[in-house]
Amino acid sequence: MTAITAASKDLASCHLCYKLAPATEHHCPRCGSTMHLRKTASIQRTLALLITASILYIPANVLPIMITDQLGSAEPSTILGGVVLLIELGSAPIAAIIFIASVMVPLSKLFALFYLCWCVEKQAKTSNQQNTAMFRMAEFVGKWSMIDVFVVAILVALVNLGGLMAIRPGTAALAFAGVVIVTMVAAESFDPRLMWDQTEENNE
């Protein structure tokens, strides 16, 4: 099957308004955003951002995400500590949500994007359909990891009973927000069309 792509017709598609224009154009004739046939230095940028996110992921998990002050004693809790506590308290479903949103999703997103970059770099023979689905998943779950940061923000604002009980935010919350934002930008800078370009070349 020879697929008719925009690139094969020497057309570039505007990433913002989807306008098709000759690949030689630097700015979209319709909306004025910068135009590229493929995103510039896509793999390098994505990898750089992924490494940043991986480094940020360490303080996000090691440092406390929130500190509970109860009757004069301060009790710091990390992300995983919070999950364990929730299981002990008997709310397994919520523990599962937190575990999936703040541990599994960011980790699998990092691994998925690393894997996709590796596939493009090494020109690995993999299924494009599958890889595209994986990329779309990584892109979709992007902002959902932010749940944990919002939970901290809500608890801090809500639980404030003076000396009796209060919740303070921990440094990990900021690091974790950083992980989410950086991986979102990483997913945005990855160009899934690079995967399909290879099959085009292989067919020829």
Binding to another protein, residues 59-88 (CB under 8 A): 86
Residues comprising the chain, all counted: 204
> Could you tell me the smallest distance in angstroms from the CB atom of residue 167 to another protein?
9
Contacts of 185 (CB under 8 A, 6+ apart): 49
Instruction: Answer yes or no whether residue 115 interacts with another protein by CB under 8 A.
Output: no
Instruction: Answer yes or no whether residue 134 interacts with another protein by CB under 8 A.
Output: no
Tokens of 111: 């691994």
Instruction: Answer yes or no whether residue 48 interacts with another protein by CB under 8 A.
Output: no
Binding pattern for the stretch 85-114 against another protein, x by CB under 8 A and - elsewhere: -x--x-x-xx--xx----------------
Greatest C-alpha distance within the chain: 73
Residue 110, SS3 per DSSP: helix
CA dihedral (135, 141, 146, 148) in degrees, to 10, reads: -120
Instruction: Answer yes or no whether residue 156 interacts with another protein by CB under 8 A.
Output: yes
Contact with another protein (CB under 8 A): which of 9, 10, 44, 62?
9
Size of the site for another protein (CB under 8 A): 64
